Amino acid sequence: MPDNNILYISYDGMLEPIAQSQVIPYLKGLSKDKLRFFLLSFEKKALLRDKDHLRLMEERLRNAGIFWKRLVYHKKPQMISTLLDCIFGLIYAVFIVKKNRIRVVHARAEVSSLIGWLCARLCGCKFIYDRRGVLAYDYVDGGMWPKESLITKIMFKAVNYLDAKFLFGSDYTVVLTNKMADILKSGIFVNKKHAPKIKVIPCCVDLDNFNRQTRNRRPEDFPPEGKSVMVYCGSIGTWYMLREMIEFFKVLKSVDPKAHFLIITPFERDLVINSMHDGFIKDTDFTVLSKKHYEMPAYLSWADAAIMFIKPVFSKLASCPTKFGEYLACGLPVVINSGIGDTAGLIEENKIGSVLKEFSSAEYRRAAEELQYLINDAGLKNRCRNVAVTNLSLVNGIESYSHIYNTILNN
């Protein structure tokens, strides 16, 4: 029905792992709820060269009844290219809305939300602000914007101004963590007569796909049997603290001589290997692989524990790492540092891992010994899985989004 037509805008490309985990499964599930999606995304040129992957993605979305319009993502020069992407994105968004009688524009993260917010205002649509983080703080905390630069100070104020516009101009705002929802309610809403509706929807996981109980034969390139495998999957750098993870592994190795570090990363293989050697880790004690997102369950389901150290900066209070739910769904206890969204509370309350209070040798040893104790607990894997089922299930995430859509469409 025309009244159920929705434009979904993502600055992340559908050919990237994050979208394959955090966009497409939701849209496929919601499409079964009599909602018709028109998807506008920005794809990286390097990924568009993989014609087989592109063809499979087109087929996957077409079979789900999702209309996909892709634009090319431009990276350099940084600010100018992003502005041009937004201009072209807005033109296409308005065209799609007008042609298809769109009622709701749903934008994922801040750059997409600039397009979506303007489009909704121009076309008289409802607007959903899917706030994935805190963009201005993300860029400063991650070192992408130099702190003392005049341009950074101008951009910081401009982005925060737009963030407030999106918040108060939205019909619904989605955030990833309760911590960020509390911050928004206690701070930015002060002296505002109209507080936007906020819904907390964390990064959820497909429990049918990430399931230790359905694992197949051990992958041939998986670490040898008899090893106790700690896994890290995802990108390296910016937020993820490889050096500290290596230092922790060295302490874990002294606690458990069978420990083996498996790193699955899409692009940074040489960086990881060199960092391991710099940390005096033997080649026989680590494995570095590159796998596509659909291959990840086969590897996580054979591991024994997982790790992710992330810079504990303000912007990460808004973060719910995708890999966190995937680890837990596969029954893996997680070693993480404090200050990352709602993760510490879930881990400590349910005894499904260890939370570091600081990056020190003493704290590494405490966490390593705690991890060893937990791994020997027969009920650990079920506890991890149950936390994923209760708090991070894709089914629950789809139901939450469905509630938002139905509330807006029926209003």
Crossing angle of helices 109-123 and 150-169, rounded to 10°: 50
27-32 long-range contacts (CB < 8 A, ≥24 apart) are 27/64, 27/66, 28/64, 28/66, 29/394, 29/395, 29/398, 30/398, 30/401, 30/402, 30/405, 31/64, 31/65, 31/66
φ and ψ of 10, to 5 deg: -135, 125
Residue appearing with tokens 């934008």 = 107
Distance CA 84, CA 157 (A): 20
Q: Are residues 19 and 79 in the same domain?
A: yes
Distance CA 280, CA 98 (A): 60
Tell me the CA distances in angstroms from 110 to 75, 82, 129, 172, 405, one per residue in order: 16, 12, 8, 14, 20
Predicted local distance difference test score (pLDDT) of residue 190 = 47
* 194: pLDDT strictly greater than 90: no
Indicate the average pLDDT of the chain: 93
- CATH of residue 245's domain is 3.40.50.2000
Distance CA 171, CA 62 (A): 29
Q: Are residues 378 and 399 in the same domain?
A: no
Domain that holds residue 349: 212-391
Q: For the chain, how many structural domains are there in total? A: 2
Confidence band, pLDDT 50/70/90 cuts, at residue 408: very high
Q: Are residues 187 and 81 in the same domain?
A: yes
Q: Are residues 274 and 336 in the same domain?
A: yes
Percent of the chain, pLDDT > 90? 81
DSSP helix/strand/coil, 303: coil
DSSP string covering 316-383: GGG---HHHHHHHHTT--EEEES-STTHHHHHHHHT-EEEESSSSHHHHHHHHHHHHHHHT-TTHHHH
Distance CA 356, CA 348 (A): 11
Q: Are residues 400 and 376 in the same domain?
A: no
* 224: pLDDT strictly greater than 90: no
Mean pLDDT of 213-230: 89
Q: Are residues 59 and 151 in the same domain?
A: yes
Crossing angle of helices 380-391 and 322-329, rounded to 10°: 130
**What tokens were used for 111?**
């750059």
Distance CA 386, CA 350 (A): 10
- Range in 189-193, 333-337, 362-366 the model is least confident about: 189-193
With 0-12 / 13-18 / 19 or more C-beta atoms within 10 angstroms meaning exposed / middle / buried, residue 46 is exposed
Q: Are residues 106 and 64 in the same domain?
A: yes
Q: Are residues 94 and 183 in the same domain?
A: yes
Q: Are residues 355 and 222 in the same domain?
A: yes
Q: Are residues 287 and 339 in the same domain?
A: yes
* Per-residue pLDDT reduced to its tens digit, 72-129: 999 888 789 999 999 999 999 999 999 999 999 999 999 999 999 999 999 999 999 9
Predicted local distance difference test score (pLDDT) of residue 188 = 57
Mean pLDDT of 211-240: 89
> Against a cut of 0.85, is the pTM above it?
yes
Q: Are residues 399 and 384 in the same domain?
A: no
Mean pLDDT of 372-397: 97
Distance CA 311, CA 277 (A): 23
Q: Are residues 163 and 244 in the same domain?
A: no
CB 69 within 8 A of CB 97: no
User: Terminus-to-terminus CA distance in the chain, angstroms?
Assistant: 16
* 191: pLDDT strictly greater than 80: no
DSSP helix/strand/coil, 298: helix
> What Rg do the C-alpha atoms of the chain give, in angstroms?
22
Predicted local distance difference test score (pLDDT) of residue 319 = 95
Mean pLDDT of 315-339: 97
Distance CA 149, CA 160 (A): 17
* Per-residue pLDDT reduced to its tens digit, 269-320: 899 999 999 999 999 999 999 998 889 999 999 999 999 999 999 999 999 9
What amino acid occupies position 255? V
